[in-house]
Amino acid sequence: MIAEHYNIIHLSTGSIFRKAMEEENELGQLIESFMNDGQLVPDQTVVDVVEETISSEEFDNGYIIDGFPRTVEQAVAFDDLLERRGETIDAFISLYVPDKELENRILSRNEGRSDDTREKVNVRLKVYQKETAPVLEYYQQAKMFRSVDGTGTVDEIFQRILSALPKKR
């Protein structure tokens, strides 16, 4: 919805990885065990995929990245990549949702994901606390940091996100 609103591309690292697994290509084989266990894919692999993806011309007018960076190492590598591309981040959106609600949403969404089981959700929440929560601290001081309440309906959350973002150009 955000990508559509701003007419920019939506890049989801998780979707790229799921597609690679479906295609059973080299990347898919490399990442499968991490994905299925609810663990993070190694930083270098993720950063290489992001760099290669955004090098395509269609990313020249802006993009929204969803699910990246998930570690401070990825954030540092992304800063370096952006500097080389002469780009800056307009906004970093942190959506806050209590663990219990995340678990309920994941267990009821029926998308057939191998990592959407109760056991894997617990692993993913632990990985989030250990690896991804520090990314918030990394960005928190920056002016473009936006913390948004991620509870409620999709429309409510979308409106909250839009009011936290710059006006359409």
Q: Which residues bind ligand AMP (CB under 6 A)?
A: 13-14, 17, 34-35, 38-41, 46, 67-68, 70, 74, 115, 124
Tell me how far apart the alpha carbons of residues 87 and 168 are, in angstroms, rounded to a whole number: 18
**In the complex, minimum distance from the CB of residue 157 to ligand AMP, in angstroms, rounded to a whole number:** 17
Nearer to ligand AMP among residue 28 and residue 67 (C-beta): 67
**Nearest CA to 22 among 114, 118, 106, 123?**
114
In sequence order, the 6+-apart residues with CB closer than 8 A to the CB of 156 are: none
Nearest approach, Cβ of residue 80 and ligand AMP (Å): 16
3-class secondary-structure state, position 116: coil
Give me the residue whose beta carbon is nearest to ligand AMP.
14
Q: CA 103, 36, 3, 46 torsion: positive or negative?
A: positive
Task: Considering the complex, state which of residue 115 and residue 150 has its C-beta at the smaller distance from ligand AMP.
Answer: 115
Backbone φ and ψ of 160, nearest 5°: -60, -40
Query: In whole angstroms, how close is the CB of 156 to ligand AMP at the nearest point?
Result: 22
Select 99 or 166, whichever has its Cβ closest to ligand AMP.
Answer: 99
User: Which residue's CB is nearer to ligand AMP, number 27 or number 74?
Assistant: 74
